[in-house]
Amino acid sequence: MTRAPSNAGYANEVDTLFERYESRNPAGIHKPWVHLFPSAPARILDIGAGTGRDAAWFASLGHSVLAVEPTDELRERAAVLHPASEIEWLDDILPSIPHVMARGETYDLILMHAVWMHLTQDERAAGMANLSKLLSTGGRIAMSQRHGLVPEGRRMFDVSGEETIALAAQHGLTNLLNERAESIQAENRANQIEWTKLVFEKT
């Protein structure tokens, strides 16, 4: 298990998280940016894989997925719920992600849903440097950043899309998408929660 301030609070909400995440169709969630995802078969790195919903979706499309999740309670249950042979589970965490880095592999797509805003400014700088090394030429990063009320027990920072774009540019990553919109969940909309979707490409 990897415990850090960035993943605080998740172990205490496992049942709620599985009910919430697994009830939503990943095809619909990814519709705004799926046209920027690679064709199968591709190597996918899902950082903060949570319940495994997205990893399982990618696997069903013919991709191979390294699903990284630092919270044991999530990762172990997700591996049982989504036992696809195309998914490999790994206990690791940003910014250093040492176990991923030690593999010496590169990926066609790195997905980070609701991860980046948990990191401090220094952690984001170190994390982006490592992410850029993990991308194959032409590979892409797709990330979503949450804005608004911070749930009790969590650590989050309000990171703008522009700040992330500037940081990515320092590592040779070109921005392909920058869209901010309100949450599609009614409860989140009531709390004025918004999300930014960003896609970067390594050329």
d(CA 69, CA 71): 6
For residue 28, the model assigns a pLDDT of 92
Domain boundaries, the chain: 5-202
d(CA 156, CA 138): 30
Q: Terminus-to-terminus CA distance in the chain, angstroms?
A: 35
For residue 151, the model assigns a pLDDT of 73
Weakly modelled stretches of the chain, pLDDT under 50: 1, 190
For residue 9, the model assigns a pLDDT of 58
For residue 187, the model assigns a pLDDT of 61
For residue 189, the model assigns a pLDDT of 54
Catalogue the long-range contacts made by 32-40 (C-beta closer than 8 Å, 24 or more residues apart): 32/179, 32/197, 33/142, 33/177, 33/197, 33/199, 36/140, 36/142, 36/176, 36/177, 36/199, 37/109, 37/140, 37/142, 38/63, 38/108, 38/109, 38/139, 38/140
d(CA 172, CA 150): 31
Topology adopted by domain 5-202:
Rossmann fold (3.40.50)
